[in-house]
Structure 1
Amino acid sequence: MNDAIASAMKKLILVVEDNVSESWALARLLRQAGFHSFECRTLKEGRAALRTKPDVIVLDTQLSDGNGFEFCRELKFNQVTAEIPVILVWDARDSEADPSQFISSGAHSFFSKPLGRPELLEAIDDILRS
């Protein structure tokens, strides 16, 4: 955890998650680890929040106003946002999730819900150190 805290110095994590309790828990975890977090509930809000220049984006795959896979691909094809690492999260009960979507999205990594806190922080730390 010390590595995560050390790499968190002034790093901004954009969380795009429509489930309020999951978003709140994730933001709390990130703040406790020393990160700044900015939470959005929709893709529309997520697009607007890109102006904050996040260091990492944690993105739900199924949002009320769109598909996180498509948004991730959109980010990767845009020169301005292509270098922002994206971590996709999905509900493991979602039988429609196709493994090829994760690969073709360009995401740096992906996790199923409920999120494993140590694993997520380790993934963020690895991203920030690379």
Structure 2
Amino acid sequence: MKVLIVDDSLMGRTLVEKVLGNEFNKIYTATCGKAALVMTLQHKPEFIILDVMMPDIDGFEICRKIRKNPNIYGFPYIMMLTGKDSDDDVIKGFENGADDYLKKPFNSRELLLRVKSGLRKNNKIIKSIHYGELTIIEESRRVTLDEEEFKLSNTLFKLLVYFIKNKGISLSRELIYKNVWEDDFVKGNRTVDVYVRRLKDKIGYLEDAIESQSGFGYRLK
């Protein structure tokens, strides 16, 4: 699980990192709003712990941007962790898309339990996979790139997911056919080639990403 801690205070980042360090091995930190958005784009963290007061973009705006652009930033669980503790601040946090709001100073055990609880909830709500800028939500069979959504047949969707889950692996036509069509492969069958071509035609982003390996099959780079 990947966690991103966003706080312009070194003491604040260090304290949260210390609380989570024994539970999560992939912890990223950001010191400002712009860095937080860049790291969310690059690393697709499952959980973001977000302070409100930032030197550039405040936490409310960061949260709003992430929620407005799920195709870019994914679907992280977002906890506001801040000294801004008025009822209006809490309401504003939730209105901008926060999933949880914890006020500073905080209890370390409570923070850890809330993070674990949030991750469990998020895993139940939505599961997505990514390939570069491409976002795939398996449960709803939704495929998006930036603001564009691609409508794929069940077979094309299964083919895409199979390629992404086996990224970097050379896959024979026989293996692809058995896993996507769930049937025995007959030598000379060109179905896989036809559907790979259709997938590339549907999603131009994959044109150079799926390599043809002559006489064997395909590999997603």
Shorter-chain TM-score tier: 0.7 to 0.9
Q: Which residues in structure 2 correspond to 1:87-98 (within 5 Å)?
A: 87-92=79-84, 98=89
Output the TM-score relative to the length of structure 1. 0.82
3-state SS in 2 of match to 1:111: strand
Q: Runs of 5+ in structure 1 lacking a partner?
A: 1-10
Bigger CA radius of gyration: 2
Per-residue deviation at 1:33?
A: 2.5
Output the TM-score relative to the length of structure 2. 0.50
Q: Partners in 2 of 1:116 and 1:20 — Cα distance? A: 18
Per-residue deviation at 1:35?
A: 4.1
What is the identity, as a one-letter code, of the residue corresponding to 1:43?
G
Q: Is the 8 A contact 2:44 2:74 kept in 1?
A: no
Give CA deviations for 1:37-81 in whole Å, capped at 9, x if unaligned: 101101111111111110100000111112101110111111223
Q: Which residue of 2 aligns with 1:76?
A: 67
Q: Runs of 5+ in structure 2 lacking a partner?
A: 122-221
Q: Is the 8 A contact 2:94 2:100 kept in 1?
A: no
3-state SS in 1 of match to 2:70: coil
Give CA deviations for 1:92-126 in whole Å, capped at 9, x if unaligned: 4x669633212211101011112221111111111
Taking structure 1 as reference, are residues 72 and 22 closer, same or farther at Cα in structure 2, changes over 3 Å only? same
Q: Which residue of 2 aligns with 1:44?
A: 34
Q: Which residue of 1 aligns with 2:104?
A: 113
Taking structure 1 as reference, are residues 113 and 75 closer, same or farther at Cα in structure 2, changes over 3 Å only? same
What is the identity, as a one-letter code, of the residue corresponding to 2:32?
T
Q: Partners in 2 of 1:111 and 1:99 — Cα distance? A: 9
Per-residue deviation at 1:29?
A: 1.4
Q: Is the 8 A contact 2:52 2:59 kept in 1?
A: yes
3-state SS in 2 of match to 1:63: coil
Q: Is the 8 A contact 1:16 1:57 kept in 2?
A: yes
What is the identity, as a one-letter code, of the residue corresponding to 1:87?
M
Q: Which residue of 1 aligns with 2:93?
A: 102
Q: Is the 8 A contact 1:55 1:85 kept in 2?
A: yes
What is the identity, as a one-letter code, of the residue corresponding to 2:4?
L
Q: Partners in 2 of 1:125 and 1:70 — Cα distance? A: 25
What is the identity, as a one-letter code, of the residue corresponding to 1:16?
V
Which of 57, 72, 77 is matched with 1:85 structurally? 77
What is the identity, as a one-letter code, of the residue corresponding to 1:85?
Y
Q: Tell me which of the two structures has the higher relative contact order, counting C-alpha pairs closer than 8 angstroms and 6 or more residues apart.
A: 1
Taking structure 1 as reference, are residues 108 and 96 closer, same or farther at Cα in structure 2, changes over 3 Å only? closer
1:53 aligns with 2:44: yes
